[in-house]
Structure 1
Amino acid sequence: MAKHSIETPTSTDQLKQDLRHLSETVEELVNATAKDASGEMRDLRERAEKRLKETRSRVESRGEHIYDNARQNINHQADACDRYVHDHPWTSIGIGAAAGMIIGMLLGRR
């Protein structure tokens, strides 16, 4: 069985924010050095712009891949749940009734 790393919303948000700041910094650097016409600076700007575009493309592609996998996983889980309920209707009714009773008792304490 393959192990999957679970990213918390905080780490994902932090990664997005870090990438956004890096992207903005590189863009600022490219714009700030735009007036420098030396060949070395021009080459450095071109490489930075190329790498920034490639990184953005990979990050966007990876995000789409993660979204698609999550959506497929959710659909698979929903299908499995639907099959279970159809295959074991009385067990499902019992579980639902027990859950409803517990929730009702917890809300009744208020």
Structure 2
Amino acid sequence: MAKKPSDRHEQTEQLQQDLRHLSDTVEELVNATAQDASSEMKDLRQRAEQRLKDTRARVEARGERLYAGTRDSLSQQADCCDRYVRDNPWTSLGIGAAAGVVVGLLLGRR
């Protein structure tokens, strides 16, 4: 189970690198063709710039939504855990003590 978040993180990093590379390439292309005065090239350059801006905006919006959703989910889980501990203090104390014993045994084996 520990490898799934790592794999997702690596995939996310790779996607971010690919998007940055694509963005840089399009910007280089737009800058390289800036001297070309033909109307067709100007039109292509404007469309490429607009698509790049739109794509960046969508990726940023998606990232913000993902961040907000994750933050809200974690907040709800923390609230649920807090309610459980407040409603069942002795059970929570027992669970904490058992977890401490297990961690102590595992550390003691080293």
Q: TM-score, normalised by structure 2?
A: 0.91
Segments of 5+ residues of structure 2 without an aligned counterpart are none
- Deviation, 1:65, is 0.8
Segments of 5+ residues of structure 1 without an aligned counterpart are 1-5
Matched, 1:21 2:21: yes
Q: Which residue pairs with 2:45 in the alignment?
A: 45
Q: Which residue pairs with 1:81 in the alignment?
A: 81
Q: Deviations over 1:56-88 (max 9, x none)?
A: 011111111111111101100000000011111
Separation of aligned partners in 1, 2:59 and 2:39:
30
Separation of aligned partners in 2, 1:36 and 1:100:
70
Q: Which is richer in helix?
A: 2
Deviation beyond 3 Å, 4+ runs, structure 1 = none
Q: TM-score, normalised by structure 1?
A: 0.91
Q: Deviations over 1:23-75 (max 9, x none)?
A: 00000000111111111111000000000001101111111111111110110
Separation of aligned partners in 1, 2:84 and 2:99:
17
Separation of aligned partners in 2, 1:90 and 1:22:
56
Separation of aligned partners in 2, 1:58 and 1:13:
17
Q: Which residue pairs with 2:62 in the alignment?
A: 62
Query: How large is the Cα RMSD of the aligned pairs?
Result: 1.3
Aligned residue for 2:37, secondary structure, equals: coil
- Deviation, 1:106, is 1.0
Residue identity matched to 1:89: P
Residue identity matched to 1:24: D
Separation of aligned partners in 2, 1:16 and 1:91:
44
- Deviation, 1:108, is 1.1
